[in-house]
């Protein structure tokens, strides 16, 4: 692995984003608008206070899954990935470059979402930094899964379908809509193997307790571990030789 | 045989149950412009991908500059421009070149040098996606020139170019050869065959012939290279000249 190549790749991806200001605006504005919408649809401060932190964990995950999977799919299909595979750059240099660039995007997005959520009445016992770090780890999970998922898509149509396939079951089962403990056994056990469940557990822990608990660290660790696993699986899909 | 930049022995590539290349034996001498000719579907692109090491091969060996194709040391020694321009459409020409130059650890001045060589200096700040077809192809070619590789593998680099630009690119190829670079250039335009030092004709995944344009003309008794190829295809007995390589016919430029 070469930090210089990771840096150059991250810089290149950020430059691509700079040429596409509309995407950047959508990345920052859409989650905030959805938060505002939810606040007034439910029109219930207590309910929103419970919901908002979980959304802070879920939004970056969903959005970054989507943009990472499409960006890497474009790289695979435009021939630039094949070109890079003939050059002295390793697959981890590329993957970490992607993770770094979109991770920076996630930092900005998470900051905006947290600020808007606080403005709308979200309350937290734990520190905002803890909340931010957990949201960022979730974003990293979205990036890693997006990198992995793009390997199985041949077109933009397919990759957009992966969003409901990879993401929606996790959102449905993560405890956002119903507490996981109350679910039917089968559903509960499915939720146990889904990393987003631990993200929501961690953020709930962070909101309810002032101190950083052991449970919080374990949950966040599981999310981070899943992200690393997805990155490794994603690396396995980057092949120098193709049929 | 260190005078050969590329050697392929028994190269076979099977894809979807069909042979794309069948038992191909080929050697590309160093310091020459070698034209890879053949109709579309004849296996030109697959052969080029095998040489650059991105093609999974079924049987045979490919040796490039003394290394097995795809070996790590080759990654700075080969410049490859695929048929579809492989640059980032949303980056400018310069941003593309800056990125690939940093991947190659090429000199900082390289992006400017290669832009001048392919005539894109005036379009440095234009996003690659807004370039015309020919400009787009030249941007992709410019990336292949970064880091001054010893072997250039160019898949149809002159497609869609007007005669003036095509002429300019061919003089660039000859200049590069005179500096000692080996070039493998594919084309389906026979009029370009005459610009090459050596010709390789592929047909249905097999090597039909490999020799210099002059020798091809004498052997077939036809001046026009397109006609010469037609004769070779129709009379397979004529196609056995590929291992003869008289020294008198070697170009003077690429001696090493």
B80 touches chain A (CB under 8 A): yes
| pTM for the predicted model, two decimal places | 0.87
Sheet with B67-68, edge to edge strand ranges: B18-29, B4-15, B59-64, B67-68
- pLDDT value at position A212? 82
Please give the distance of CA B216 from its chain centroid, rounded to a whole number: 20
Residue A108 half-sphere exposure, CB side, CA atoms within 13 Å? Answer: 12
pLDDT digits (tens, 9 = 90+) for A44-78: 888 888 888 888 888 889 989 998 999 989 998 88
Mean pLDDT of chain B: 88
Asked whether B69 and B56 are in contact (CB, 8 A), the reply is no
How many CB atoms are located within 10 Å of the residue A156 CB?
A: 13
Burial class (CB in 10 A: 0-12, 13-18, 19+), A214: exposed
Q: Which of A22, A30, A236, A66 is nearest to A156 (CA)?
A: A66
Provide the percentage of residues in chain A whose pLDDT is more than 90: 33
pLDDT at position B249 over 50: no
Residue of A nearest to B15 (CA): A243
pLDDT at position B232 over 60: yes
Q: What three-state secondary structure class fits B235?
A: coil
pLDDT at position B122 over 90: yes
pLDDT at position B244 over 60: no
Residue of A nearest to B127 (CA): A19
Q: Do A241 and B54 touch (CB under 8 A)?
A: yes
Band the pLDDT of A172: cuts 50, 70, 90.
confident
Tokens matching residue B35:
């034209």
pLDDT at position B128 over 70: yes
To test the contact with chain B by mutation, choose from A91, A242, A243 the residue with the greatest count of B C-beta atoms within 10 A, namely A243
Band the pLDDT of B8: cuts 50, 70, 90.
very high
Give chain B positions within 8 Å (CB) of A89. Answer: 103
ipTM, interface predicted TM-score of the complex: 0.87
């Amino acid at each position: 692995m070469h930090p210089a190549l990771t840096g150059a790749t991250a810089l290149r991806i950020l430059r691509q984003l700079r040429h596409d200001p509309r995407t950047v605006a959508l990345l920052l504005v859409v989650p905030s608008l959805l938060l505002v919408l939810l606040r007034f649809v439910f029109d219930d401060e207590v309910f929103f206070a419970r919901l908002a932190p979980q959304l802070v964990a879920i939004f970056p995950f969903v959005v970054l899954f989507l943009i990472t999977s499409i960006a890497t799919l474009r790289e695979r299909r435009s021939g630039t990935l094949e070109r890079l595979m003939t050059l002295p750059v390793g697959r981890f240099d590329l993957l970490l470059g992607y993770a770094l660039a979109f991770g920076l995007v996630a930092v900005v997005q998470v900051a905006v979402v947290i600020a808007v959520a606080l403005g709308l009445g979200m309350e937290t016992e734990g520190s905002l930094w803890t909340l931010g770090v957990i949201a960022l780890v979730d974003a990293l999970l979205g990036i890693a899964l997006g990198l992995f998922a793009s390997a199985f898509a041949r077109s933009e149509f397919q990759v957009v379908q992966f969003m409901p396939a990879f993401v929606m079951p996790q959102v449905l089962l993560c405890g956002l809509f119903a507490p996981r403990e109350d679910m039917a056994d089968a559903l509960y056990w499915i939720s146990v193997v889904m990393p987003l469940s631990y993200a929501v557990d961690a953020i709930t822990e962070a909101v309810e307790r002032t101190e950083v608990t052991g449970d919080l660290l374990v949950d966040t660790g599981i999310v981070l571990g899943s992200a690393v696993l997805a990155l490794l699986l994603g690396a396995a899909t980057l092949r120098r030789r193709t049929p | 045989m260190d005078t050969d930049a590329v050697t392929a022995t028994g190269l076979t590539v099977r894809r979807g149950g069909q042979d794309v290349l069948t038992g191909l034996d080929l050697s590309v001498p160093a310091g020459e412009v070698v034209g890879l000719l053949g109709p579309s579907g004849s296996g030109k692109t697959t052969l080029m991908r095998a040489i650059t090491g991105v093609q999974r091969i079924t049987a045979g060996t490919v040796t490039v500059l003394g290394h097995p194709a795809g070996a790590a040391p080759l990654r700075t020694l080969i410049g490859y421009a695929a048929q579809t321009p492989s640059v980032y459409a949303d980056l400018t020409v310069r941003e593309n070149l800056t990125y690939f130059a940093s991947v190659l650890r090429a000199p900082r001045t390289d992006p400017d040098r290669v832009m001048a060589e392919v005539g894109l200096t005036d379009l440095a700040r234009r996003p690659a996606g807004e370039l015309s077809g020919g400009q787009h192809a030249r941007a992709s070619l410019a990336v292949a020139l970064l880091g001054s590789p010893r072997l250039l593998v160019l898949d149809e680099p002159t497609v869609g170019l007007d005669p003036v630009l095509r002429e300019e690119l061919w003089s660039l190829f000859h200049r590069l050869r005179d500096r000692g670079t080996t070039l493998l250039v594919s084309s389906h335009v026979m009029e370009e065959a005459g610009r090459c030092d050596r010709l390789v004709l592929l047909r249905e995944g097999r090597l039909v012939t490999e020799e210099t344009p002059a020798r091809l003309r004498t052997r077939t008794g036809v001046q026009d290279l397109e006609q010469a190829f037609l004769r070779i295809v129709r009379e397979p007995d004529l196609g056995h000249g590929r291992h003869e390589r008289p020294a008198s016919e070697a170009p003077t430029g690429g001696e090493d």
